Chains A and B, each alone.
Chain A
Amino acid sequence: METKQDPILEVKNLSIQFGGLKAVDDVNFKVNRGEIVSIIGPNGAGKTTVFNMLTGVYQPTNGQIFFKGEEIQGKTPQNIVKAGMARTFQNIRLFCDMRVIQNVLLGMHTNTDYNFFDLVFHTPKYRKLEREKQQKAVDILKFLDLDRYLHDYPTNLPYGDQRKVEIARAIATDAQLLLLDEPAAGMNPEESEELLSFIRSLVTKGFTIVLIEHDMNLVMNISDRIYVIDHGRKIAEGLPQEIATNKDVIVAYLGEEEEEDQLEEVEHA
C-alpha cells in the first residue's frame, strides 16, 4: 500500500467541553487525499462529536482544524460545505417529503448559481443551470445505481438505499472530503459488501473518505488507516493490522472473543 502524504484534513489538539464534561480531549489526526480513514471507538466515545466539530455544528473549545490548508474551526456549516466537506448522519436525515431527486438537487444548493430574478423569470441562465443540475443529479443517482428511485420519496426505499441516497446528496455538494457517519448501520452482510466496494469506487473517482463505523469487517477491509477514540481521547492509530492487535484497543473496545476473529481476518486479508 503506497502512502499518500497529501493532507487534505489536519486536526490538532481538538477539544470540546460541555459544561463540566470534556467530550473530546486533545485529539490529533490527519487525512491524506485519496485515503479512507476510519474513526472507531465504543459508543459515546465522542466520534460523532468530532464530526460535528469538523462540519461546524459545534465550536471546539480548543484546537484547530485545517481543511485544504485553511483553518476552518468556528466556520459556519454552510461555508464548510462550500469549501468541500460534506457529511452523512448516524440516523439518516433525508428530506422525507421531497423526492429522491430533489434531495440530491438540494445537495447542489451551494453550487447552483442563479438568483431570485433568474428563477422567477426563467432567464436563459436559470434554464441552463437548472437543466445542468438536474442532469447531474440523475447522473449521480445512476452512478449509485439509484436512478430507478428518482421520483420516489425516501421513506419508500429500502434502508440500505436510503443510506446511499444520503451519500448521493453529499456527493452532489461537489465535496472532496466525505464524512460518513456509520454508513453500514442497519445493513445486512450483503449490503455491507456492496457498501464496501461502493466506497472503494468513490475513492477512484477522487473522493477522500473519513468513516465512523462499528462494523469491524468493513473497517478492517477498507481502511488505509484507523484512529481509535475512547472517552474523548485518541488511544491508538495505525494500519488495520496494528489496530487489530493493539492491546489498548482490544481492552477498550473489541473485547476478548473478537480478538481471535480479528487476527484471523487480518491474516486472510
Chain B
Amino acid sequence: MKHNNAKKNLLDTKPKKIAALVVMVALVLYLPKSGLLSPYLVRILTMISLYSMLSLSLNLLTGFTGLVSIGHAGFCAVGGYTSALMWQYLGLPWLVTAICGMIMAGVVGLMLAAPTSRLSGSYLTIATLGFGEIVKMIALNWQSFTGGPLGVNHIERPEFFGITLTTFNGGFFYLSIILTALVTLFVYRIVNSKMGRAFMAIRDDSLAATMMGVDVTAYKMKSFVISAAIAGLGGAFYVHFVRFLDPNTFNFDISIIIISIVILGGTGSIPGSFLGAALLISFPEILRFASEYRFIIYGLILVLMMRFKPEGILGGHSHRPFRLMKGVESYGN
C-alpha cells in the first residue's frame, strides 16, 4: 500500500505555504474592520472560534483518549466563575483571571479524574454528567459566594493596553482567534507526541497500553486536566464576552452542543472540531425560523451520526500519509 507523496497539492512547497498563511492571517485581521461583516456576523464568527476551542478540548479527552464526557460545560463554568468572581472581588485584569480560571478548571479536572479513572465506558460518562450537575448545583446554592441564581452581572470587558475589547472594535474576535490558534497549536503538538500516542493507545486498548509501559491512570488524569483547563479558558472568555454569568450559563445543553460538535466534526480529528463548530453554530442562525427545533436537531445529529458515521465527518482513518519529522529516512515509504 504505497502512499503517493508526489506533489499533487498546490500548496506543497514551503514558500507557497507561508504565503497562504500570511494571506489567511491578513484576511482574518481585516475582516471585522472591513465593513463587509455586520457586528452580528463577527459575533457569530467569534462564537464559532470559541466553540472550536471548546470542542478541541473535549476532543482531546473523548476523541483522542476515549473518555466520553457529557459534563464538559462544568469545566467552562469553573473557569467562568473563577474569572468573573476574581474580577468582582479583586478587580484583577482579564489575563490574570483567565489564567486562574484555567488553573482552577484544571484542578477540578484532576479532582474528577482521580476517582473516575477506574470506571469504564458508560459509568464514566454518567459520572461526568453527575459532575456537570454538581457544579451547577454548587453555583446555585453557594449564594454568598457565587450570587446564586442571580449570578454575576455587568461583568467587565477585558482590557489590553488601555483598549477595552468590544464586538464593534473587533476586539473579542481577535482575542478569540488568538486563543483558538494557540490552543490548536498546543493540542496539535500534544497529539503528535509521546503523550498523544499514549492517549490514543488508552482509547484503543488500555490493557495493551499498560502492557507496553503506559501508566494509564496517570495519563487519563493528564488528559482530564489539560482538557478541563482549556475548557476553563473558554469559559473565562465567554463570561467577559456576554458579560453575564449564572448557574444556567454552562448547563447540560452546552455540554451536549460541545459533544455534538466533536461527534459531527470527527472524533480524533483537529480540523473536525472546526468543521463541527462551524456547522453547528452557524446553522441555528441560518435557520432562524427553526430555532425551536435546535435541540431536536442536535439530538438527531447524535443519533444519525452514530448510525451512519460514528467517527464523524472528518474522523476515522486518515488517507494522508503520516508526517515523519524532517530528516527521518523512510526508505521510499
Contacts and interface: CB of A to CB of B under 8 A. Distances in A.
B331 A78 contact: no
A98 B63 CA distance: 12
A160 to B, nearest CB: 15
A151 B333 contact: yes
A82 B193 CA distance: 20
Interface stretch (B19-27, B109-117, B160-168, B209-217): B209-217
Interface in A150-178: 150-153, 156, 169, 173
A130 B330 CA distance: 15
B331 A169 contact: no
Contacts of A152: 1
Contact of B317 (A97, A119, A150): A97
Contacts of B317: 97, 153
Contacts of B1: 148-149, 151-152, 156
Given A78-B214, A106-B214, A119-B189, A95 B329 contact: no
A95 B327 contact: no
Contacts of A93: 205, 207-208, 211
Interface string B182-198: 00001001100111011
Contacts of B316: 97
A93 B202 CA distance: 12
Interface stretch (B120-128, B244-252, B318-326): B318-326
A106 B203 CA distance: 13
Given A95-B205, A98-B204, A78 B210 contact: yes
Contacts of B200: 95, 97-98, 102
Given A127-B325, A138-B331, A147-B330, A95 B208 contact: yes
Interface residues of A, number: 47
B256 interface: no
A147 B189 contact: no
Contacts of A126: 193
Interface string B164-182: 0000000000000000000
B198 A142 contact: no
Contacts of A95: 200-201, 204-205, 208-209
B296 interface: no
B39 to A, nearest CB: 35
A97 B213 contact: no
7 contacts: A57-B207, A86-B211, A101-B322, A109-B212, A138-B324, A138-B328, A138-B330
Interface of A: 55, 57, 77-78, 81-82, 86-87, 89, 93-99, 101-102, 105-107, 109-110, 112, 114, 116, 119-120, 122, 126-127, 130-131, 134-135, 138, 142, 147-153, 156, 169, 173
